[in-house]
A and B are shown apart, each in its own frame.
Chain A
Amino acid sequence: MLLRHTPTEIKERSALTVNPAKTCQPIGAMYAALGIHGCLPHSHGSQGCYAYHRSALTRHYKEPVVAATSAFTEGASVFGGQANLVQAIDNIFTVYNPDVIAVHTTCLSETIGDDVPQIFAKAKADGKVPEGKYVLHASTPSYVGSHVTGFANMTKAMVDYFAESNGRRAKTVNLIPGYVEPSDMTEIRRIAELMGVPTIMFPDTAKVLNGPLTGKYRMFPEGGVTIEELKKSGSSVGTIAMGRTASMPAARALDAKCKVPCEILGLPLGLHGTDAFVDTLRRMAGVSVPAALNLERGQLVDSISDWHQYLYGKRVALVGDPDQVLALTRFLVALDMQPVHIITGTPAGKKYEKSLREAVAGVPADVNIKVPGDMLLFHQWIKNAPVDLIIGNTYAKYIAKDEDTPLIRYGFPIYDRLGHSYFATMGYRGALRLLEKLLDAILDRKDRDADDIDMELVM
């Protein structure tokens, strides 16, 4: 009874969040910024923020995560953080020498009203930004949105600061993968390569947060989108934004700034999600879907058919980030499973909630949805109406243990298992892996609970 303090009776809470299913904007901005090549994320706030973000990302990825801070003191909080940020820019380029500094604000610097573009202008005028080096910023106060919107804002800042149109259209397609894992970004790129489409992906944390052991510590690892690529994104033939919450603002900004038309899709997760991505990419780039990709799709459908009788009617509780939760819900419904308790911690809006309700419209069970909700409510729902399976981040393991229900770890953060950095859940291959995870969880439990006489060898 780790969560012995979770009451079964659900009371309306007016003023507080218990066991959050989200965290604050700056960490999402930091994660996005790590997807720029040679970039040092910078937290414009007090010293604790970036220490927490670095620790959280380090626990999730088991990789070194670097970032710098303006290290606000009481003085800076009274007189503004300009001096700190200008000094920081100078120090960072002198000591760490990144290609880019990506500044995100915090509740502190937002509330005292620091004007980051104006501070950048001052730093440039003072010669603190060397030739060929760049700065960008996103406004990410912690009291707005969540880590997902922080990611969205920093991704949009990449467009605002760098995208330019040279009047010609290149053959490239921009891919905005959303707040997904490095492994997912690699998989999305692989699908585009299979289709023969040249792409610019941003951000791209592959090889930044899942790099090899080399015997050397590299402050700026190999991966990440380059500034050159970001500049060229303004000349691409189109943009595919994956996940409305995390990717739409950047895609819309690119449309407005450089007239690059965009398609806003859900994440390419599950059969329908990947179909939508592949089809959109095919049309946008004017290519046909290669046999190799059709094979992957066929194998996925084949596997679903092979195992569907074990999935049918299984009740699932699902908590996570909005774009993932929506795509997963659709996939579960497609597998004839029943997502019955669905929560995202991010305030993703009415329109989002409507999409979620549409996705479960055909589910023959009572479905609870809360946007935004927290993990206390999630647990209470499960206590009141038990499920066969829980999908959520590492914190959900306490609920899973207390309710003796199988758990599939999915989302952020995952502090206690290997996998998310290396094995994608996007694309047909990713869907196959998700299917494997679902079946493992369900069938392991079936075997564990089977009487001796019911124990079956062949499934």
Chain B
Amino acid sequence: MSSTVITAAPTGAADDRVKGGRRRFAAFLPYLQSLPLWLVMGVFLLIPIATIVAVSFWDDQEYALVPTFILDNYRDALSSRVTWDTYLSTIRYAVIVWAATLAIGFTVAYFLAFHVRSTLWQMVLFQLCAIPFLTSNIIRMISWIPFLGRNGLINQTLIDLHLTDHPLEFLLFSPFAVVLAFVHLYTLFMVVPIFNTMMRIDRALVEAARDAGAGPLSVLRHVIVPLSLPGMSIGTIFVVTLVMGDFVTVQMMSGGQSASVGLLMKNEISLLQYPSAAAHAVVLLVTVLLMVWAILRVVDIRKEL
């Protein structure tokens, strides 16, 4: 039918049609070009998340998953006091670790960007920060244990110096140890983006502020901090999401005495209760996305960059 229409039509119209087709193809081309990305995102992100969401509504009965639609998993997860306590303690870890890594990360980045004058030294020192991160993070975590233990290096030293007569127990298998390990593990995730944004700050702005009579502190407050905000918020997103999703650091450094959301899920998975673990995963995902959304509300990263 359509072919008859084309043959019957005048040649000029057919030409237009071909051109129109090309134009349409040209408009379609960017979508085609982004197809690989869509495929990768689809296969490795969207489908898995959709599966988790779907399973979170399933029922499990004695090792068998029953595909159905029930809200029990969510009701159980949200009505349990353990869940709330666990979220509270995980969020507490996230806030403390965030504050500590931000303070340390900002200081280190500031020093690298504004106090180290030669680019060579900047790079050397920056690499130096990164070197420990070439080892496995579990190794970096475990190495704290003999250091902080009851008969560990710190306690031995404190006792030898007569600063204390009995070993400090809070150093290991405690919330302190968990926070310490987190800060050690994740500070680099703060340093890198902050350093990156600081390097882009136009030095003329600093000079202009000085010429206008600003002291070092007000340069920091009114010029550098506002311009480093995007880096800080990117670092914040990294640190917060990493801490919220962790299970192994909390388990090892608290000696199994502290709970975290990740650990809660891991326990459920080991009992083969996949639907309730999936429900917890969805709740965690929503919580973290809300936190990221809140961070982006404070700083519009896209605009700032």
Q: Bound pair: A and B?
A: no
